[in-house]
Amino acid sequence: MIKLKVPATTANLGPGFDCMGIALDLYNYIEIEEIDSGLKISIEDDNDRKKVDKDENNLVFKAVKKVFEKVGYRTKGLRIHIKYHIPIARGLGSSAACIVGGMMAANEICGRKLELHELMEMAVEMEGHPDNVVPAMVGGYVISAYTENKVEYLRLDLPEEIRFIIAVPDFELKTSDARRILPEMVSLKDAVFNISRAALLAAAVAEKRYNLFHFFGKDRLHQPYRGKLIPGMDQVMKNAVEEGALGVFLSGAGPSIIALSLKDFEKIGSKMKEIFFLNGIRSTILITGVSKKGAEILT
């Protein structure tokens, strides 16, 4: 039996649309073993609300199948058990965790025939962009690009004392819906705005310049548009900063919002929850750190 844990991820970070992501210290756990015949999938869900496919449409199984097909591995049957701690359809990389977990487990089963970069490229192709799957694999703060079927990435370490205060609204937002609302063209002014903020953000993390962490969340490519789908988003962000957050941003496609801070975590989280509630949205607050290792095979 192969057991592994895969971290949640937060992507975009504001200006780093589709190219920046961070692995979080919040995990899904996956067990996979070969059996005599058939496919058996069982699910544990912290929220116990989301119906997850328990057949060949299951995302973990699809990822396993891609690896087996790639290396020509045949199996009589599989048993898959998934324990979800990562909220589903909340902008915290749940689908990326399933893809990464399935592929890494499959690679173990077939004798590690694929290198990390090969698995990474397959995962990016399946997910559609690298900002979630790459940090889910390698951990930390990752800047990545996908060109000519090859993934290039740079991994940085965030300071250990940084915490992520995550406000998770009690409604789902599919990535497809959050992408559909984005414009196909943006102005040169907005493009320059994002390029400059993304560059400064990466430099601030590398140099641990906390006074520049406010560049987390500075964006004109996606947040202003996705905010229309998330009641109270701008107010939540504004109030989190007023309570002492170093930076605040929409996590992935949303609707979760993340604040970074060195202190007053509960205070900031309480204010974020309050503002969501005033806008008619119930939410849950999670406080976590960064996952330095990313996905791990458990012995």
Q: Is 21 labeled as ligand-binding?
A: no
| Whole-angstrom distance, CA of residue 252 vs CA of residue 121 | 20
Residue 275 in contact with residue 285, Cβ under 8 Å?
no
Q: Is 119 labeled as ligand-binding?
A: no
Amino acid letter, 78: L
Q: Is 116 labeled as ligand-binding?
A: no
DSSP for the chain reads: -EEEEEEEEEE-TTT-TTTEEEEEEEEEEEEEEE-SSEEEEEEEESSS------STT-HHHHHHHHHHHHHT---SEEEEEEEE-SPTTSSS-HHHHHHHHHHHHHHHHTTS-S-HHHHHHHHHHHHSSHHHHHHHHH-SEEEEEEETTEEEEEEEPPPTT-EEEEEEESS---HHHHHHTS-S---HHHHHHHHHHHHHHHHHHHHT-GGGGGGTT--SSSHHHHGGGSTTHHHHHHHHHHTT-SEEEE-TTSS-EEEEESS-HHHHHHHHHHHHHHTT--EEEEEE-B-SS-SEEE-
Q: Which distant-in-sequence residues (6+ apart) come within 8 Å of 213 by Cβ?
A: 201, 204, 205, 246, 247, 260
Other CB atoms within 10 Å distance of the CB of residue 156: 13
Q: Is 261 labeled as ligand-binding?
A: no
Q: Is 86 labeled as ligand-binding?
A: no
Q: Is 178 labeled as ligand-binding?
A: no
Q: Is 240 labeled as ligand-binding?
A: no
Q: Is 187 labeled as ligand-binding?
A: no
Q: Is 259 labeled as ligand-binding?
A: no
Annotated binding site: 87-97
Annotated binding site for ATP: 87-97
